[in-house]
């Protein structure tokens, strides 16, 4: 298996720490002098750039949150003059103002390099034809993946999202071997391939899927269905976009490109750093970013880290599968519930695909939990008895997983509200004020 | 010989039945008979229609959950009073999952049966002199 940048991806831990320390010192110095927000924050914490001597001092630096990005909308956190910014991306901003990120030419080069590393991890190379089926536009997915594929030297087919039949037809006609899209879109594409009966005409080998979480079971299911290898790609626009981390052929965690992004795991409540293999909130510090470098950016994603070398030969730290988000954890009747637990429970029931919605409500003083599940054809039965059996089975499986009684409601396909192609997973109707 | 029944999942929501009939109207699907089984929150509509494959495709295109189920339709020469002859003729170990009326036309009264092991049942009924609708 090829490695795109062996020098960086297979460094010894000592070399990596030294490189990270040198880069951290430089970036702290940069933001202190060029970003007013960070200068003030560091002064409030009583630290100066000279106090940071290496990654062991990371814990003394202030955190950055999404709210900080919004407060400094649009360009307040940029560390270079606007003349050096060559591209802007922005988040959808469903809960308020968009968050805006800017890239210099070198930042775009770094991004291309990282995506090329991801594609190489997935066994793709310059001879491959790769469809990018992320949305093109302000969202980092489309363009980020696109230029990475070009940098790799492969052929990119900029599909964007939408016409799935056309995507499948082109997949056949162009001999497409790689595909980058969200997990839920991949599942949909797999269904369309099945419906069209063209499974034996596709040459697809590997897919890179990110921008929304999925479970290991979903990943395996789709691999089996299409006879491919599906890889997790991770990224967030605040740090770069897709390509911050990616899983390799061993599928034992996503390798973080640590020479560019310094990861740490903290307890989301106390903000204390946590050890390897302990689940907490993932935090990133930019090490090379010019346009908008961030110190200790709180991703809200819950995962754990390991620094053990991987059997694939890479030595970079690996992220475990995401356990959820620290901000979408629900507390229902005092029990911590992550939507991902319910999703995993649903998937363990044969034939159930994960189109579901969790509705939390409060009747009097008691929280109630309802899970709506779209009845897709594959498990629809003409007998009420069978449907009732399915309802009970789902309810039981969820209760096993989270320890709470759950009311399950079967609903018609496509009735669960979607925004930007992502199903709205949780509706919390409780009033806390 | 088995008849294809169209089965549709319906949430108990206002206007869903109307939506369904609109789809049939637009696609020139004739309903020959139907039965609606309901629970508190949803129902399953079972229909015998002029073109079940086309009906299913049309419903799927507008996001209904629909499937085709094999059922048996038996003519009751002696009218509905002779229903017992059918139950008597069926193998004792096979349960009728559900049944409904297909036609009440005099001399051609007939019923739809959902039962397991359709091939065996068809053979038995034909042997005993019943005629089946296909």
Residue B13 belongs to domain with CATH number: 3.30.2130.10
CB within 8 Å: B9 and A384: no
CB within 8 Å: B114 and A415: no
Contact between A231 and A186 (Cβ < 8 Å) = no
Q: Is residue A382 part of a domain?
A: yes
Q: Considering its fold, how many domains does chain B have in total?
A: 2
Residue B79 and residue B123 share a domain: yes
Angle at A392 (CA atoms; ends A391, A396), nearest 5 degrees: 120
CB within 8 Å: B41 and A409: yes
Contact between A91 and A300 (Cβ < 8 Å) = no
Residue B63 and residue B9 share a domain: yes
CB within 8 Å: A388 and B67: no
Residue A359 and residue A411 share a domain: yes
- State which of B17, B37, B69 marks the end of a domain: B69
Q: What is the mean pLDDT of residues B67-90?
A: 91
Please name the helix (run of DSSP H) or strand (run of DSSP E) that holds residue B102, with its range, or none: strand B96-103
Residue B97 and residue B58 share a domain: no
Please report residues of A whose CB lies closer than 8 A to that of B65: 375-377, 380, 412-413
Kindly identify which residue of chain B lies nearest to residue A414, measuring between CA atoms.
B63
> Nearest by CB to A384, which of B16, B39, B66?
B39
A49's tokens: 């750039």
Nearest CA to B133 among B109, B115, B106, B114? B109
CB within 8 Å: B42 and A410: yes
Contact between B23 and B81 (Cβ < 8 Å) = no
CB within 8 Å: B67 and A414: no
- State which of B69, B90, B121 marks the end of a domain: B69
Residue A115 and residue A68 share a domain: yes
Residue A8 and residue A124 share a domain: yes
Residue A342 and residue A275 share a domain: no
CB within 8 Å: B69 and A380: no
The model's pLDDT over B15-34, given as tens digits with 9 standing for 90+, comes to 888 999 999 999 999 999 99
Residue A173 and residue A29 share a domain: yes
Name every residue in B having a CB less than 8 A away from some CB of A. 5, 7, 9-11, 16, 37-39, 41-42, 44, 46, 60, 63-67, 69, 97-98, 114
Burial A308-330 (b: 16+ CB within 10 A, else e): eebebebbbbbbbbbbbbbebbb
A414's tokens: 């496509």
pLDDT given at position A332: 84
Helix, strand counts (H, E) of chain B: 4, 7
CB within 8 Å: B98 and A412: no
CA distance A235 to chain B (A): 33
Contact between A341 and A369 (Cβ < 8 Å) = no
Residues in chain A: 433
Residue B75 and residue B65 share a domain: no
> Nearest by CB to B67, which of A380, A387, A411?
A380
Please report residues of B whose CB lies closer than 8 A to that of A409: 41
Q: Is residue A13 part of a domain?
A: yes
Q: Is residue A390 part of a domain?
A: yes
CB within 8 Å: B69 and A409: no
- State which of A273, A307, A325 marks the end of a domain: A325
Residue B76 and residue B45 share a domain: no
Distance CA A360, CA A363 (A): 10
CB pairs under 8 A between A and B: 55
> Nearest by CB to B65, which of A375, A383, A409?
A375
Q: What is the mean pLDDT of residues B107-125?
A: 91
Q: Is B11 helix (H, G, I), strand (E, B) or coil?
A: strand
Q: CATH number of the domain at A370, please.
A: 3.30.300.30
Residue A295 and residue A146 share a domain: yes
Per-residue pLDDT of chain A (433 residues; tens, 9 = 90+): 899 999 999 999 999 999 999 999 999 999 999 999 999 999 999 999 999 999 999 999 999 998 899 899 999 999 999 999 999 999 765 445 778 999 999 999 999 999 999 999 999 999 999 999 998 999 899 999 999 999 999 999 999 988 999 999 999 999 999 999 988 889 889 989 999 999 999 999 999 998 777 778 889 989 999 999 999 999 999 999 999 999 999 999 999 999 999 999 999 888 999 999 999 999 999 999 999 999 999 998 899 999 999 999 999 999 998 887 777 778 787 777 888 788 888 888 865 566 889 999 987 777 889 999 988 877 788 999 999 998 999 999 999 888 888 999 999 988 887 665 566 788 888 876 5
Q: Is residue A334 part of a domain?
A: yes
Residue B77 and residue B61 share a domain: no
pLDDT given at position A93: 53
Q: What is the mean pLDDT of residues B86-100?
A: 90
Kindly identify which residue of chain A lies nearest to residue B16, measuring between CA atoms.
A412
pLDDT given at position A38: 98
Look up residue B39 and give its DSSP letter.
-
Is pLDDT at B58 greater than 70 in this prediction?
yes
- State which of B69, B85, B100 marks the end of a domain: B69
Residue A245 and residue A131 share a domain: yes
pLDDT given at position A216: 85
pLDDT given at position A27: 98
Residue A338 and residue A319 share a domain: no
Q: Considering its fold, how many domains does chain A have in total?
A: 2
Instruction: Please report where in the chains the tokens 């630290």 appear, as a residue.
Output: A47
Neighbouring-strand partners of residue A247: A254
Residue A279 and residue A336 share a domain: no
Contact between A116 and A151 (Cβ < 8 Å) = yes
- State which of A286, A302, A325 marks the end of a domain: A325
Q: Is residue A310 part of a domain?
A: yes
Q: CATH number of the domain at A117, please.
A: 3.40.50.12780
Best B2, B35, B42 member to test A by mutation, with max A CBs in 10 Å, is B42
Is pLDDT at B127 greater than 60 in this prediction?
yes
CB within 8 Å: A377 and B65: yes
pLDDT given at position A51: 96
Q: CATH number of the domain at B100, please.
A: 3.30.70
CB within 8 Å: B11 and A382: no
Residue B63 and residue B111 share a domain: no
Q: Is residue A433 part of a domain?
A: no
pLDDT given at position A29: 97
> Nearest by CB to A414, which of B39, B41, B63?
B63
Please report residues of B whose CB lies closer than 8 A to that of A417: none
Q: Is residue A50 part of a domain?
A: yes
| Full domain range(s) for residue A172 | 1-325
Please report residues of A whose CB lies closer than 8 A to that of B114: 382-383
| Full domain range(s) for residue B127 | 71-133
B80's tokens: 């509905």
Residue B35 and residue B75 share a domain: no
> Nearest by CB to A412, which of B5, B11, B39?
B11
- State which of A278, A295, A325 marks the end of a domain: A325
SS3 labels along chain A:
CCCCCHHHHCCCHHHHHHHHHHHHHHHHHHHHHHCHHHHHHHHHHCCCHHHCCCHHHHHHCCCECHHHHHHCCCCCCCCCCHHHEEEEEECCCCCCCCCEEEEEHHHHHHHHHHHHHHHHHCCCCCCCEEEECCCCCCCHHHHHHHHHHHHHCCEEEECCCCCHHHHHHHHHHCCCCEEEECHHHHHHHHHHHHHHCCHHHCCCCEEEECCCCCCHHHHHHHHHHHCCEEEEEEEECCCCEEEEEEECCCCCCEEECCCCEEEEEECCCCCCECCCCCCEEEEEEECCCCCCCCCCEEEEEEECEECCCCCCCCCCCEECCCCEECCCCEEECCEEECHHHHHHHHHCCCCCCCCEEEEEEEECCEEEEEEEEECCHHHCCCCHHHHHHHHHHHHHHHHHHHCCCCEEEEECCCCCCEECCEECCEEECCCCC
Residue B57 and residue B8 share a domain: yes
> Nearest by CB to B67, which of A382, A409, A410?
A382
């Amino acid at each position: 298996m090829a490695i795109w940048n062996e020098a960086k991806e297979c460094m010894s831990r000592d070399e990596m720490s030294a490189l990270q320390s040198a880069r951290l010192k430089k970036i702290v110095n940069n933001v202190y002098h060029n970003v007013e927000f960070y200068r003030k924050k560091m002064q409030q914490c009583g630290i100066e750039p000279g106090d940071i001597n290496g990654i062991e001092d990371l814990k003394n630096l202030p955190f950055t949150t999404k709210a900080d990005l919004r407060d400094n909308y649009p360009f307040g956190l940029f560390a270079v003059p606007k003349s050096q910014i060559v591209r802007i991306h922005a988040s959808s901003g469903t809960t308020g103002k968009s968050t805006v990120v800017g890239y210099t030419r070198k930042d775009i080069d770094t991004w291309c390099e990282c995506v090329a590393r991801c594609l190489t991890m997935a066994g793709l190379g310059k001879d491959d034809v790769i469809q990018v089926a992320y949305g093109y536009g302000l969202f980092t997915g489309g363009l980020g993946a696109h230029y990475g594929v070009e940098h790799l030297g492969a052929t990119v087919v900029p599909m964007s999202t939408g016409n799935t039949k056309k995507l499948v037809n082109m997949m056949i006609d162009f001999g497409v071997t790689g595909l980058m899209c969200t997990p839920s879109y991949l599942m949909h594409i797999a269904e369309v391939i099945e419906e069209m009966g063209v499974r034996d005409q596709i040459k697809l080998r590997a897919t890179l899927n990110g921008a929304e979480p999925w479970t290991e079971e979903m990943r395996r299911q789709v691999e089996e269905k299409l006879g491919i290898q599906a890889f997790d790609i991770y990224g967030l626009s605040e740090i770069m976009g897709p390509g911050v981390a990616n899983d390799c052929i061993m599928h034992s965690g996503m390798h973080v490109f640590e020479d560019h992004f310094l990861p740490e795991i903290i307890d989301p409540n106390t903000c204390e750093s946590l050890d390897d293999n302990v689940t907490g909130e993932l935090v990133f510090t930019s090490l090379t970013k010019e346009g908008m470098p961030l110190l200790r950016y709180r991703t809200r994603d819950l995962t754990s880290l390991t620094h053990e070398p991987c059997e694939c030969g890479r030595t970079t730290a690996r992220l475990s599968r995401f356990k959820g988000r620290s901000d979408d954890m629900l507390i229902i009747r005092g029990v911590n519930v992550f939507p991902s637990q319910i999703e995993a429970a649903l998937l363990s029931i044969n034939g159930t695909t994960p189109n579901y919605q969790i509705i939390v409500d409060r009747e009097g003083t008691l929280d109630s939990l309802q899970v709506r599940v779209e009845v897709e054809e594959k498990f629809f039965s003409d007998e009420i008895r069978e449907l009732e059996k399915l309802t009970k089975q789902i309810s039981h499986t969820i209760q096993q997983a989270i320890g709470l009684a759950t009311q399950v409601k079967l609903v018609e396909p496509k009735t669960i509200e979607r925004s930007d192609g992502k199903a709205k997973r949780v509706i919390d109707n409780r009033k806390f004020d | 010989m088995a008849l294809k029944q169209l089965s549709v999942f319906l949430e108990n929501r206002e206007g869903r039945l109307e939506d369904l009939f609109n789809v049939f109207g637009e696609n020139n699907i004739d309903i020959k008979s139907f039965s609606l089984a309901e629970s508190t929150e949803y129902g399953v509509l079972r229909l015998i229609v002029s073109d079940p494959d086309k009906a299913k495709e049309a419903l799927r295109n507008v996001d209904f959950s629909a499937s085709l189920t094999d059922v048996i339709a038996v003519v009751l020469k002696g009218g509905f009073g002779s229903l017992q002859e059918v139950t008597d003729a069926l193998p004792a170990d096979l349960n009728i999952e559900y049944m409904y009326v297909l036609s009440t036309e005099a001399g051609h009264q007939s019923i739809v049966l959902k039962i397991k092991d359709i091939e065996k049942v068809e053979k038995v009924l034909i042997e005993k002199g019943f005629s089946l609708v296909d």
